[in-house]
Structure 1
Amino acid sequence: MTVQTYVGIDQDANAGLTHLGRMVRDAWVFGILPETETCAGWDSARMQNLYEQVYAAWEPYAHLPSRLPEELRERHTRFYAQAITTARGEGWDPELGEDE
């Protein structure tokens, strides 16, 4: 049986704009992880633990960036704007395909 591990946000598809990449990025926003942590090589149990921490961090804000305090909102905007710019430069199209 092969253990699946995360490739890391820096190697993830679409500049990390996947569900796992967004989770890592949100962990950076809330200071759960340092910005230098890519989570490369993390197994599913570790990623699940991170998910639970990130979910709990979002709860007071109803999981809405617009409800974040200014400092966190600025971090969120910075991290996601950078990822979106990089992804678009690599040909990412945010429109959903017919099979999505």
Structure 2
Amino acid sequence: MKSKIYEGIHKQEDGAMTPTANVIRDAWVFGILPEDETCEGWVLQGIDALYDKVSAAWEPYGHLASNLPPELRERHARIYAAAVERARAEGWNPELGDDD
């Protein structure tokens, strides 16, 4: 059985506006991963383990960015603003279609 390999956050379609990319961005916010780690070449088990670490990091804040302390809230805002800007430049449209 061949393991699925993640292409990396900067190689995903539609500007990487996916749950996996959000886990990576959140890992950047909490300092679990350095911001230059794209997770390119990671296997699914590695992404799953990262999800567990990110979920545990969010727990004290109720999984809400508004509950983050100022330093983390500012980092979150910066990382996600850049992600939205990049995604829009790559053609991502946040509007839901009739089939969504």
Q: Which TM-score band (shorter chain)?
A: over 0.9
Once residues 14 and 29 of structure 2 are traced to their aligned partners in structure 1, the CA distance between those partners, rounded to angstroms, is 19
- Aligned AA for 1:25? R
Query: 1:58 is matched by which residue type in structure 2?
Result: W
Which residue in 2 is equivalent to 1:34? 34
1:6-85 correspondence runs (5 A): 6-85=6-85
Q: Note the C-alpha offset of 1:84.
A: 0.4
Helix, strand or coil at the partner of 2:51: helix
Structure 2 gap ranges (5+):
none
Q: CA RMSD in A?
A: 1.0
Q: How many residues align?
A: 100
* 3-state secondary structure, aligned to 1:33: coil
Identity of aligned residues (%): 55
Once the 2 structures are TM-superposed, how far is the Cα of residue 75 of structure 1 from its aligned partner? 0.5
Q: Which has the higher contact order (CA 8 A, sep 6+)?
A: 2
| In 2: Cα distance, 1:68 partner to 1:53 partner | 16
Deviation readout 1:37-78 (Å, 9 max, x if unpaired): 110111111111000000000011111111100000111000
Give the alignment's TM-score, normalised by structure 2. Answer: 0.94
Query: SS of the residue aligned with 1:95?
Result: coil
Structure 1: where are the runs of 5+ without partners? none
